[in-house]
Chains A and B, each alone.
Chain A
């Protein structure tokens, strides 16, 4: 992997609006060469628009799109060194598999021998070496997906943009493709920018995730960071499952919720500041009612295969989701225990910069 301190793609204060409707609100992001990035957010959050501004299909309203240190705002899509894998694959129906893959190379006047060689290599890379003569209509959705990837990769782009490419595949195939894409990215060492609304996909594949909502990036970071330390209610809810309980920060490393004080790992807030507390369902352990840090009453449970999903309520009527390997008795009280570091405290309306600075100060244990 090339060591390169300069980001390959950088967006500076990028805004995009259609009339009065703001699609992107002051987007800043940097992509380093050779990493797998994911833009994650619900549909309509603007993630695909970011992709399109980088690809050159959509002009920004203000701000700068930089590629390799140069501003490329005015550069048309056909002159950018990025390639895209489209959500609907966008394979040309009037060409066969090999012609689709060769299309870009022909436009760039690559010699015929080299085209043949590179097309073969690209098809082999996506395990379609013998499919060159097939018509697009003759191959399956999963194979079309691979052709679309090969068609983009054969151009040897510095950045590959992937617009929800797995969304049309069935669950099993999607899992396989996750491994394959990750593997492909690491072998080729080029930058992938992947757009999805599927948090599992994002967590499984990415080096770094940008969580978006409503035209803004809420939080960027490694999958583990984002999962363990979501910046706000939205991120905590969107990534994985969470119990989000209103609470009060008594002092550094001590937070109060459901009327009790608990030791925690967070700090840097005002005394008695109102906060939200996140506890992941899998971090909660069930003990006898009299031994728990918290007592909740089981309301209902569902068997999920590898665990039981238990819904319970505490004395303040907060809902608690608990994942447990053992079933509980509905209507009975149970005790919940958790470690101080399982508690994650979120300030209300904290910016990403302030969040990062506070974290650095208080989480070096």
Chain B
């Protein structure tokens, strides 16, 4: 008690961090909200929000973005959960984990660039399709390629939290479940999966939000067929210079983010409380 009082008396060291919170966390968000009430000519207006919520284009774009983020998250989850599960049962899980995470250290842009080559008209993917007799297809600039590359990029971010929650799982729960007569599938669905749900939720959080806002992939891989919220923001800020509208979409994206966080963290807290000794 006394130690805490003594240390907190000297708070000068805390100033840079507090300044950071003030200038780079709070101020930018407030400025973004503020900016969303101005039109392209710098006049105060609610028109951005009116336009957004009354225009089919914007609403369809939002729905589309959410839909694609959902597909990307689903694809990532379906690949990552078994990966994390198998990972946990290998002899050297830490080494495998490192190998899975390593690709995230390669610049995102380079990975996207690689797929431009792989999916191109006469690229290796089409050479393979020709080889097995399907014949070359338009791969680059399709929705499929967009989802494929996005999922590819996100897999490590999904594997990591799921692996953590699986490896933390006390093996005696599994033994207890088997002991009480559960089959392997019952053990998985009634014991293992519910107990690793916090990891799954953390993974969804880590994948879904960025998937809503990926903009360089939509350009490089998706060929602008899919317009995500992120693409729209980038366009308004850097191309049409309509910062007001861009900020409005930004506010929508922030709200979507908050909703997802609430959906995924509420449950997490409950289970975490249940799991601590």
A, B from the same assembly: yes
The answer to whether the Cβ of B3 comes within 8 Å of any Cβ in the partner chain is yes
> B1-32: which residues lie under 8 A (CB-CB) from chain A?
1-3, 5-6
Interface string of A326-338 (1 = CB under 8 A from B): 0000000000000
Centre residue among B2, B3, B5, B6 by max chain A CB count within 10 A:
B2
Interface string of A57-79 (1 = CB under 8 A from B): 11100000000000000001100
The answer to whether the Cβ of A230 comes within 8 Å of any Cβ in the partner chain is no
Q: Is the CB of B1 within 8 A of A59?
A: yes
**In the complex, chain A residues whose CB is within 8 Å of the CB of B2:** 56-59, 76-77
A304 to B2, CA, bound (A): 48
Q: How would you classify the secondary structure of chain A's contact residues: helix, strand, loop or mixed?
A: loop
**In the complex, chain A residues whose CB is within 8 Å of the CB of B5:** 59
Q: Is the CB of A58 within 8 A of B1?
A: yes
In whole Å, how far is B267's beta carbon from the nearest beta carbon of chain A?
A: 33
**In the complex, chain A residues whose CB is within 8 Å of the CB of B6:** 76
**In the complex, chain B residues whose CB is within 8 Å of the CB of A77:** 2-3
**In the complex, chain B residues whose CB is within 8 Å of the CB of A58:** 1-2
A58 to B1, CA, bound (A): 6
**In the complex, residue of chain A having the shortest beta-carbon distance to the beta carbon of B2:** A59
Interface string of A38-63 (1 = CB under 8 A from B): 00000000000000000011110000
**In the complex, residue of chain B having the shortest beta-carbon distance to the beta carbon of A53:** B2
In whole Å, how far is A72's beta carbon from the nearest beta carbon of chain B?
A: 13
**In the complex, chain A residues whose CB is within 8 Å of the CB of B1:** 57-59
**In the complex, residue of chain B having the shortest beta-carbon distance to the beta carbon of A58:** B1
**In the complex, chain B residues whose CB is within 8 Å of the CB of A59:** 1-2, 5
A320 to B272, CA, bound (A): 48
In whole Å, how far is A79's beta carbon from the nearest beta carbon of chain B?
A: 12
**In the complex, chain B residues whose CB is within 8 Å of the CB of A56:** 2
> A180-203: which residues lie under 8 A (CB-CB) from chain B?
none
In whole Å, how far is B6's beta carbon from the nearest beta carbon of chain A?
A: 7
**In the complex, residue of chain A having the shortest beta-carbon distance to the beta carbon of B3:** A57
A41 to B2, CA, bound (A): 25
**In the complex, chain B residues whose CB is within 8 Å of the CB of A76:** 2, 6
In whole Å, how far is B131's beta carbon from the nearest beta carbon of chain A?
A: 57
In whole Å, how far is B265's beta carbon from the nearest beta carbon of chain A?
A: 30
A56 to B1, CA, bound (A): 10
**In the complex, residue of chain A having the shortest beta-carbon distance to the beta carbon of B1:** A58
In whole Å, how far is A88's beta carbon from the nearest beta carbon of chain B?
A: 16
A187 to B1, CA, bound (A): 35
**In the complex, residue of chain B having the shortest beta-carbon distance to the beta carbon of A76:** B6
**In the complex, residue of chain A having the shortest beta-carbon distance to the beta carbon of B5:** A59
A200 to B158, CA, bound (A): 55
A77 to B5, CA, bound (A): 13
A108 to B214, CA, bound (A): 58
A59 to B2, CA, bound (A): 6
> A63-101: which residues lie under 8 A (CB-CB) from chain B?
76-77
A362 to B5, CA, bound (A): 51
In whole Å, how far is A173's beta carbon from the nearest beta carbon of chain B?
A: 26
A59 to B5, CA, bound (A): 10
**In the complex, residue of chain B having the shortest beta-carbon distance to the beta carbon of A74:** B2
A165 to B5, CA, bound (A): 27
**In the complex, residue of chain B having the shortest beta-carbon distance to the beta carbon of A59:** B2
A106 to B1, CA, bound (A): 26
In whole Å, how far is B1's beta carbon from the nearest beta carbon of chain A?
A: 6
**In the complex, residue of chain A having the shortest beta-carbon distance to the beta carbon of B6:** A76
A56 to B3, CA, bound (A): 9
In whole Å, how far is A82's beta carbon from the nearest beta carbon of chain B?
A: 15
**In the complex, residue of chain B having the shortest beta-carbon distance to the beta carbon of A18:** B1
> B230-253: which residues lie under 8 A (CB-CB) from chain A?
none
A57 to B2, CA, bound (A): 6
Sampled A-B contacts (13; CB under 8 Å): A56-B2, A57-B1, A57-B2, A57-B3, A58-B1, A58-B2, A59-B1, A59-B2, A59-B5, A76-B2, A76-B6, A77-B2, A77-B3
Which residues of A approach B to under 8 Å, CB–CB? 56-59, 76-77
Which residues of B approach A to under 8 Å, CB–CB? 1-3, 5-6
| Extra contacts besides A56-B2, A59-B2, A76-B2 (8): CB < 8 Å | A57-B1, A57-B2, A57-B3, A58-B2, A59-B1, A59-B5, A76-B6, A77-B2
Which A-B residue pairs are the 5 nearest by beta carbons? A59-B2, A58-B1, A57-B2, A58-B2, A59-B1
